[in-house]
């Protein structure tokens, strides 16, 4: 595959992994310049004809590029219609997969470090802030509208990526705890808080 437009355009650094959309032969990736890209993976006979010229896009060809409001340091997620990504302007964005148009945005109570996650028509994002103490929030949003479903605060950084599994959400925090959440939140129904930690705290 060609290196693609991110390096060729001289944009920001890629601090996160791309999200690979196998069904549609695309990948989605954002960078520290605050740009979000969709790129073709298929090429040749199985790629997308995005410019309408009757020919398939080449591998690594940029399909769309969107300017977000801040740098991105984590990976996007997607469903059948939208791509979700959070930036350091303390905002989560939902973008149309085909056009890249921004369909909704929601403000976050802090900076996102872990990646956004999607499951069961909900978008999950954890954030952190520092005002003399550690502050972490974990929020769930309706994937269709962006409306907040619930949000939970605790005095610890939440820097990991929420992991959906079997109808639950698994999340780690800087208090050396792993929590297992129900989809209706916001109170975790299990804490594992006796993790063994070696080295400096």
**What pLDDT is attached to residue 56?**
58
Helices (H), 70-182: none
Is the distance from CB of 90 to CB of 66 less than 8 angstroms? no
Rounded Cα distance between 102 and 84, Å, is 10
Closest-CA residue to 161 (of 149, 174, 170): 170
Q: Which pLDDT band holds residue 138 (cuts at 50, 70, 90)?
A: confident
DSSP for 37-73 reads: EEEE---GGGS---SSSSSPPPTT-EEEEEE-SS---
Is the distance from CB of 198 to CB of 160 less than 8 angstroms? no
Sign of the alpha-carbon dihedral angle for 49, 52, 53, 58: negative
**What pLDDT is attached to residue 191?**
53
pLDDT, tens only, 47-90? 556 555 666 556 667 889 999 999 888 899 999 999 999 999 99
Rounded Cα distance between 74 and 128, Å, is 14
Share of the chain above pLDDT 90, in %: 29
Residue 91 pLDDT exceeds 50: yes
């Amino acid at each position: 595959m060609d290196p693609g437009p991110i390096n060729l355009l001289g944009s920001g650094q890629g601090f996160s992994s791309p999200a690979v959309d196998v069904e549609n032969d695309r990948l989605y990736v954002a960078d520290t310049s605050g740009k979000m890209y969709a790129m073709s993976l298929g090429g040749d006979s199985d790629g997308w004809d995005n410019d309408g010229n009757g020919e398939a896009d080449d591998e690594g060809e940029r399909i769309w590029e969107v300017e977000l409001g801040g740098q991105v340091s984590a990976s996007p997620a997607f469903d059948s219609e939208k791509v979700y990504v959070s930036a350091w302007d303390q905002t989560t964005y939902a973008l149309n997969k085909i056009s890249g148009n921004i369909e909704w945005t929601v403000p976050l109570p802090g900076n996102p470090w872990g990646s956004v996650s999607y499951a069961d028509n909900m978008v999950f994002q954890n954030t952190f802030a520092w005002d003399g103490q550690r502050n972490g929030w974990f929020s769930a949003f309706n994937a269709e509208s962006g409306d907040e479903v619930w949000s939970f605060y605790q005095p610890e950084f939440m820097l990991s990526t929420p992991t959906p599994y079997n109808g639950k959400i698994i999340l780690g925090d800087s208090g050396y705890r792993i929590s297992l959440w129900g989809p209706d939140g916001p109170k975790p129904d299990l804490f594992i808080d006796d993790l063994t930690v070696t080295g400096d705290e």
